[in-house]
Chains A and B, each alone.
Chain A
Amino acid sequence: MSATAERILTTTRARVIAVERETHDTFTLTVAPADGAAFEPFQPGQFSMLYVFGVGELPISISGDPAEAERLVYTVRSVGQATHALVSRKPGELIGVRGPFGTSWPVKEARGKDVLIVAGGIGLAPLRPVVYHVLRNRDDYVRLILLYGARSPRDLLYRKQLAEWGRAPDTQVLVTVDYGGLSWRGHVGVVTTLFRQLRLHPAETAAFICGPEIMMRYVIRMLEARGLAPQDIHLSMERNMKCGAGFCGHCQMGPYFVCKDGPVFSYRQMQPWLDVHEL
């Protein structure tokens, strides 16, 4: 078996170091290698296949800081049997890890530009590594703008960090919810309504989007209307995946295998296919 195949297809054991509750249904797991060898470095936007003994394996985006390679961090929403089993791990327990897999957000190409992040719900998780990267390499980028929408205040991820990021220089963090409730004093409305508060420099902006497909379609329309070119808009797609390496066939979307040609695509790549119903 070649070194690459070995790395991609062999499950290695990782020990859960911390499990933090983010919201009523979402948790962040931090894991460290259990058998000595260090984790493979990852790029912002990549994902791992996480295995729970006897339950199953599932693709989960890495939500931690790419500069901290000794640990891997995942933010998981408990929506089914396998994700429930994953977030129910206790510190000290083992899980299996394969990867990292897939393409990454083009943070190098975005140097010298404004970075505009638009996230919906759990879609903020694969984008958090971009925030970490930009804040660590602050001089490489101009403005950092984060637009984040969630269903309700209780669904907002990383609330403490959102407030911290908003206080960083040249950083704008705008948060909105679909349903506010009585105690919510922030913005209410879908994420595209936040664009009114923005002044974009379309030729000098790299936009990174992750969220429900319907939300991404509307955000793209908004960005195109503001003059962003398709190659400057990037989005992360979600599809069923069993292997992560292009062999199981489940993640196909038109000409692409989302696991290896994505999950991060430029809108130029996705433009012909994004609106095709049930592709």
Chain B
Amino acid sequence: MNESGAERGAAWLTRIGLDQLIAKLKELGYQVVGPRLGDGAIVYDAIEGVKDLPAGWTEEQEAGIYRLRRREDDALFGYNLGPQSWKRFLHPPVLRILAAEKSNGEFRILPPLDRPPRYAFLGVRACELAAIAVLDRVLLEDAFPEPNYLARRSELVVIAVQCTRAAPTCFCASMGTGPGVRSGFDIALTELGEGFLAQAGSERGRGLIESVEHEPASEDLIRQAEEAVADVAARLVRRIETQDLARRLQQALESPHWDDVARRCLACGNCTMVCPTCFCTTVEDTSTVPCDRVERWRKWDSCFTESFSYIHGGSVRTSVRARYRQWLTHKLSWWVDQFDMFGCVGCGRCITWCPAKIDLTQEVSKVVASG
């Protein structure tokens, strides 16, 4: 730790500097997406400037509970995670993948739509950086890149925000993804009082910091930021024991605890929709009434639906037990076989947004114990 703050690309940004940063990104042609209030939650959406950020808002989270709350200060990033993840921009919930039209009895495939926007994400948490890395592994780094994801991902600018508080549903530390951000960002911000410690994670990030009003960050400020993140690690309540977990779950496929979960699980699929790494999709065909122009739309799908595993003669996973087991074992076991990593980053969204208050961390330990 002998480098000075400046050598590490660290700077102090006021809210004016942050506003300039957003403006700069817009000027460079990026669509800036960040946190703002919407639908009774903090959601990610297009933002124009600091004025759109959820100043003074935070949230209360527990299994099956999410409530917006006022903070005593006016912190811009004083919350943890809303229901949405960045997945909805990189791997959109609904996407047209084919259009064709028919004339004189012959169909013709139409050229694809224009390029998607170039995104700049503001407010990406450590677990969410890890989730983007998981999606990269699945959709970019396997046999070949999935072109729709690649088009959105390749020019992405990531401005991360360090967590200085933890929700009771967070378990990033045990998944090895947080609370501190380590890589995969252009700039990492730590909100300290009225301003931000901004640390560059890439040359592009360094250039962006240089382009707005900033001051060199003191060693003291950097230490203060490090302590704030370290405090979060100490406050995490939930955890998953990941030692040998992939193998232990495969030995527990017939655990009686799956039946216990199945009695509570509504198979609603909420956990898969809010999960930042669930990537499954289905396809829907639409057509005009005379059927001369048709489209194929790719849509997020959930392994909790019965139709998900349908083949002629019936679905493979008819029981809720089998569907919950598929979801959990995919996240924490099969994913390791398939991609050499867990498919869970410890964000806790599946716990918060489960209407039946099913807590992944508890179910895992019970399954493994009873397997």
- Nearest A residue to B278 by beta-carbon distance? A249
Choose one: A8, A240, A255; the contact of B144 (CB below 8 Å). A8
Point out the residues of chain B lying under 8 angstroms from A246, CB to CB. 142-143
Known: A250-B280, A278-B318. A53 touches B294 (CB 8 A): yes
CB of A210, distance to nearest CB on chain B (Å): 14
Q: Which residues on B sit within 8 Å (CB–CB) of A80?
A: 312
Contact B283 A57, beta carbon cutoff 8 Å? yes
B283 and A245 contact, CB distance less than 8 A? no
**CB-based nearest B residue for A77:** B312
Verify A56–B330 contact, CB threshold 8 A. no
Give chain A residues whose Cβ lies under 8 Å from the Cβ of B338.
255, 257
Question: Which single member of A57, A249, A254 contacts B279 (CB below 8 Å)?
Answer: A249
Q: CA–CA, A246 to B291, complex, Å?
A: 30
Q: Give the Cβ gap from A252 to chain B, nearest Cβ, in Å.
A: 7
B100 adjacent to A53 (CB under 8 Å): yes
Min CB gap B119→A, angstroms: 19
Q: Give a binary string over A51-68; 1 marks a CB under 8 Å from any B CB, 0 the rest.
A: 001111100000000000
Cβ of A183 under 8 Å from chain B: no
What's the Cα separation between A247 and B279 when bound, in Å?
8
Q: A4-B144, A11-B109 are in contact. Are A53 and B312 (CB under 8 A)?
A: no
Contacts of A239 in B (CB 8 A): 309, 311, 316
Interface size on A, as a range, is 35 or more
Q: Is B308 at the interface (CB under 8 A from chain A)?
A: yes
Which B residues touch A154, using CB under 8 A?
none
Query: CB < 8 Å: which of A53, A238, A248 contacts B107?
Result: A53
- Quick check: A255 and B309 within 8 Å, CB to CB? no
Q: Is B282 an interface residue (CB 8 A)?
A: yes
Q: Count residues of B near A (Cβ-Cβ below 8 Å).
A: 46
Residues of B within 8 A of A217 (CB): none
Query: In residues 68-120 of chain A, which contact B (Cβ within 8 Å)?
Result: 77, 79-80, 93-94, 96
Question: Assuming the A-B contacts A11-B98, A252-B334, are A94 and B107 also in contact, with contact meaning beta carbons closer than 8 angstroms in the complex?
Answer: yes
B residues 123-150 with Cβ under 8 Å of A? Answer: 138-139, 142-147
A113 CB, min distance to chain B CBs, angstroms: 30
Bound complex: CA A249 to CA B106 (Å): 32
Q: Does B285 contact A (CB under 8 A)?
A: yes
A247 cross-chain contacts in B, Cβ below 8 A: 138-139, 146, 279, 281
- A13 lies within 8 A of B319 (CB): no
Please name the residue on chain A nearest to B338 by beta carbon: A255
B143 touches A278 (CB 8 A): no
B322 at the interface (CB under 8 A from A): yes
- B43 contacts the other chain (Cβ, under 8 Å)? no
Q: Does A9 contact B (CB under 8 A)?
A: yes
**CB interface residues, B 184-237, toward A, < 8 Å:** none
Q: Shortest CB–CB separation between residue B250 and chain A, in angstroms?
A: 8
Question: In the complex, A246 Cα to B311 Cα: how many Å?
Answer: 17
Docked-complex contact B311 and A238, CB < 8 angstroms: yes
**Does B296 sit within 8 A of A, measured CB to CB?**
yes
Chain B, residue nearest A254 (CB)? B334
Tell me if B62 counts as interface (CB < 8 A to partner A). Answer: no
From residue A83, how far is it (CB to closest CB) to chain B in Å?
8
Whether B301 is near chain A, meaning CB under 8 Å from some CB there, is yes
The digit string for A1-33, where 1 denotes a CB below 8 A from any CB of B, is 110110011010100000000000000000000
CA separation between A17 and B330, bound complex, in Å? 43
Bound-state Cα–Cα, A74 to B139, Å: 30
Instruction: Give every chain B residue within 8 A of A260 (Cβ-Cβ).
Output: 143
Set of chain B residues within 8 Å of A240, measured between Cβ atoms: 308-311, 316
Q: How distant is A141 from chain B, measured CB to nearest CB, in Å?
A: 31
Q: Could you say which of B253, B330, B334 contacts A276, with CB atoms under 8 Å apart?
A: B253
Known contacts A53-B107, A240-B310, A257-B338; A279 and B253 CB within 8 A of each other? yes
Of the candidates B301, B321, B322, the one whose C-beta lies within 8 Å of that of A249 is B301
What separation, in Å, do the CA atoms of A257 and B189 have in the docked complex?
39
Q: Roughly how many angstroms separate A2 CA and B154 CA in the complex, as a whole number?
A: 14
Residues of B within 8 A of A54 (CB): 102, 285, 287, 291, 294
Residue B303, interface by CB 8 Å: yes
Of all chain A residues, which has the CB nearest B322? A278
Chain B residues with CB under 8 Å of A272's CB are 250
Instruction: Report how far A11 CA is from B142 CA in the complex, Å.
Output: 21
A13–B109 contact, CB under 8 A?
yes
Contact yes or no, A5 B145, CB < 8 A: yes
- A248 adjacent to B282 (CB under 8 Å): yes
In the docked arrangement, what's the CA distance between A8 and B145, Å? Answer: 11
List residues of chain A with CB within 8 A of the CB of B318. 278
What residues of B have a CB within 8 angstroms of the CB of A79 in the complex?
312
- CB contact list, A166-213 vs B, under 8 A: none
- Please state if B144 and A2 are interface contacts (CB–CB under 8 Å): yes
Beyond contacts A54-B294, A240-B310: 12 other A-B pairs, Cβ-Cβ < 8 A, are: A1-B147, A5-B145, A54-B291, A93-B105, A94-B106, A94-B107, A249-B281, A250-B309, A252-B326, A254-B250, A257-B338, A279-B326
Binding site for B on A (CB under 8 A): 1-2, 4-5, 8-9, 11, 13, 53-57, 77, 79-80, 93-94, 96, 238-240, 242-243, 245-250, 252, 254-255, 257, 260, 272, 276-279
Enumerate 17 A-B pairs (CB-CB under 8 Å) in ascending A order.
A5-B145, A11-B109, A53-B100, A53-B107, A53-B294, A56-B285, A80-B312, A245-B146, A246-B143, A247-B138, A247-B279, A248-B280, A249-B303, A250-B280, A250-B309, A255-B334, A279-B316
The 5 closest A-B pairs by CB, nearest first: A249-B280, A255-B337, A278-B322, A54-B294, A54-B287
